[in-house]
C-alpha cells in the first residue's frame, strides 16, 4: 500500500510505501526533511494556487504530542550548529548589535533629556520618570522584535530549511504576542528564581514552548501560554534535562569573553529542536544515513474517450 501525503514546506504530493511509516525522508522537490506519517494520520490537503507562495510556507501539520530524547535533541542541535556556524554567529552578532547600538543611543538621549529637564524645572521627578519609562519601552520593543526574528531563524534552521541572518529582522508580524509572552515568562521565571530557584526552573520548563507557538503557529499570547503547559506535561523529565543543559551552556558561556554570543544560537537551536520533536514535527541534524529521498507522486491523468466523429473516421 502506498501512502500519499503533502510536503510540510512546498506541499508537493509525496508517496512512500506503508512500511516506511515513521521513517525520515527528504522531499524530492524542496529537500525538506520530514517523517512519513502513519496511514491513519494522513489527511488530505488542498493544493494551493501557484500565486499563494507565502501562504504555502505558513502551512504546518497539526500538533501531534510526542515524547522525545533530550540527548538526541542536543546532538541534532550541535550538528546543525556546526554545519551552519557562519550563519549562526552572524545572526547572533546581528541581534547583539541590533540591541546594543539602539540601547546606547537611547540611553544617551535619555540622559541628555533628563539633564535638560532638571535645568529647566524644579519639580522634575515625573518628567524624568516618563522619559526613563519611554526609553525602556523602546529598548524592550527592539529587543523583542530581534528575538522574535532570531526564533524564526532557529526554527527554520532546526527544520533543515534555508535560513539567513537577515531573518532576525522578520519578527515584526508577531511582535505584540511575542513581547507579551516573553515578558510574562521572564517575570514568572524571575519570581520563581527569587523564591527557591526550583520554581523558576519549573516555570522555564512549563512556558518555554510559548514563544515558538507564537512564531510557528501564530497563536495569541494567552493561547500560547495555555498550550505550552499542555505540551510540557507529557515530556516533563526530558524538558527538565533540556532546561538544565540550556542553563549550563549559558552559565559556562558567561565565564568566557563573548561566550554568550557564541552559544546563543546553540542554546536557541536546542530549544527549537526540542519544540519540534515534542510537537511531532521533523527536524534537521539527523545523520544522512537516516534520511532517504522521497518520490513525488505522479499526477493522475485521465484519457478522454474518442469522440463519435473520430470513431466514424477510423472506420
Q: What is the DSSP string of 35-52?
A: EPPPGGG----PPPPTT-
Give mean pLDDT, residues 269-297: 75
Helices (H), the chain: 53-58, 70-83, 85-120, 125-159, 175-195, 198-207, 209-217, 221-233, 236-253, 259-278, 308-314
**Hey, where are the domains in the chain?**
62-280
pLDDT tens per residue, range 220-276: 999 999 999 888 887 888 888 888 888 888 888 778 877 888 888 999 999 999 999
Burial 110-124 (b: 16+ CB within 10 A, else e): beebbeebeeeeeeb
pTM for this one? 0.73
Q: Which three cell numbers stand for residue 281?
A: 514535527
**Bridge pairing between strands 295-296 and 13-17:** antiparallel
pLDDT tens per residue, range 17-57: 777 777 777 777 776 777 787 776 665 545 444 444 344 44
Amino acid at each position: 500500500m502506498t501512502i500519499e501525503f503533502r510536503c510540510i514546506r512546498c506541499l508537493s504530493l509525496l508517496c512512500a510505501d506503508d512500511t516506511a511509516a515513521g521513517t525520515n525522508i527528504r522531499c524530492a522537490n524542496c529537500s525538506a526533511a520530514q517523517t512519513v506519517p502513519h496511514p491513519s494520520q494522513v489527511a488530505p490537503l488542498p493544493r494551493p494556487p501557484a500565486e499563494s507562495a507565502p501562504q504555502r510556507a505558513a502551512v504546518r501539520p497539526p500538533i501531534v504530542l510526542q515524547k522525545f530524547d533530550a540527548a538526541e535533541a542536543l546532538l541534532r542541535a550541535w550538528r546543525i550548529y556546526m554545519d551552519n556556524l557562519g550563519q549562526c554567529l552572524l545572526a547572533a552578532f546581528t541581534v547583539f548589535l541590533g540591541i546594543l547600538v539602539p540601547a546606547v543611543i537611547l540611553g544617551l538621549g535619555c540622559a541628555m533629556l533628563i539633564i535638560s529637564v532638571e535645568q529647566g524645572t524644579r519639580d522634575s521627578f515625573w518628567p524624568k520618570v516618563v522619559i526613563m519609562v519611554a526609553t525602556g519601552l523602546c529598548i524592550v520593543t527592539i529587543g523583542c522584535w530581534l528575538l522574535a526574528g532570531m526564533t524564526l531563524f532557529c526554527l527554520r534552521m532546526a527544520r533543515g530549511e534555508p535560513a539567513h541572518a537577515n531573518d532576525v529582522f522578520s519578527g515584526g508580524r508577531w511582535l505584540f504576542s511575542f513581547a507579551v509572552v516573553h515578558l510574562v515568562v521572564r517575570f514568572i521565571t524571575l519570581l520563581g528564581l527569587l523564591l527557591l530557584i526550583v520554581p523558576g526552573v519549573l516555570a522555564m520548563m512549563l512556558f518555554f514552548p510559548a514563544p515558538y507557538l507564537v512564531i510557528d503557529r501564530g497563536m495569541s499570547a494567552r493561547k500560547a501560554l495555555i498550550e505550552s503547559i499542555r505540551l510540557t506535561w507529557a515530556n516533563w523529565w526530558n524538558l527538565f534535562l533540556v532546561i538544565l543543559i540550556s542553563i549550563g551552556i549559558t552559565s559556562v558561556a558567561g565565564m568566557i569573553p563573548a561566550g554568550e554570543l557564541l552559544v546563543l544560537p546553540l542554546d536557541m537551536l536546542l530549544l527549537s529542536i526540542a519544540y519540534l520533536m515534542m510537537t511531532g514535527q521533523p527536524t534537521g541534524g539527523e545523520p544522512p544515513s537516516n534520511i532517504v529521498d522521497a518520490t513525488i507522486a505522479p499526477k493522475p491523468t485521465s484519457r478522454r474517450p474518442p469522440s463519435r466523429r473520430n470513431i466514424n473516421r477510423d472506420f
